[in-house]
Amino acid sequence: MNRPDFPRGRRAGTRRAPARGVTIVVVLVLLSVMLLGGLAMARMTEIGSMAAGNAAYREAALQASEIGLNEVFAQLRNAGVVPDEDVAVGTWYQPSVAATTADGLPDIDWDTMPEMVIGQYRVRYFSDRICQAAKPTDPLRECLVKQMPQLASADFNKEKLDPPNAKQFRVTIRVTGPKGTQTWVQSMVTKG
């Protein structure tokens, strides 16, 4: 019996289907979907890194502002620097409330304020006394004061003394960061 020679792996009577390229189209679609997913994950990672960096810059700016606040507090307490609260000292101290912008910040030229460089941050500060007039005649009525509680005598025959008061100052600090960002901090300082 003579058998026709068939190529190995084929059975008699089967025909090979013509190649249509469907598999390559499916593979290309799957690769495209995977590529888009990878790009989305990369973008999410980038945004997370940027947010963490911004939080770190903000925290460093707040720490730099605390150094500026300590400097202003030390100068306000030093009688050699501020001998009289009713007289302006340089450009950084004003004995009455300064005019403010719509944001509540003092309307001053910040480039003339004293500057401290702390690492990559530049700190400028300004302080004003919370008084209606530069030279108040009645500080208890014209200025913001903090009244301190005072221990009273148990002797009812003695007249009670008025509680001592402490002067209040508003300190505004501008911190300029490495990328030109600005952080503003306002704080109240008590002297007395």
List pLDDT tens digits, range 44-55: 888 888 888 888
Using DSSP's 3-state secondary structure scheme, residue 27 falls into helix
Name 96's Cβ contacts closer than 8 Å, sequence gap at least 6. Answer: 128, 129, 131, 132, 133, 134
Backbone angles phi, psi at 122, to 5 degrees: -110, 125
Give the separation between CA 73 and CA 68, rounded to whole angstroms.
Answer: 9
pLDDT tens for 136-183 read: 777 777 777 776 666 666 666 666 655 567 788 899 999 999 888 899
Q: Comparing C-alpha atoms, which of 185, 186, 152 is closest to residue 168?
A: 186
Q: Supply the pLDDT for residue 88.
A: 83
Q: How crowded is residue 92: how many other Cβ atoms within 10 Å of its Cβ? A: 21
| pLDDT tens-digit map of 65-119 | 999 999 999 988 887 788 777 788 888 988 888 888 998 899 999 999 999 999 9
Tens of pLDDT, residue by residue over 2-27, are 665 655 655 656 677 666 778 888 89
CB atoms within 10 A of CB 139: 17
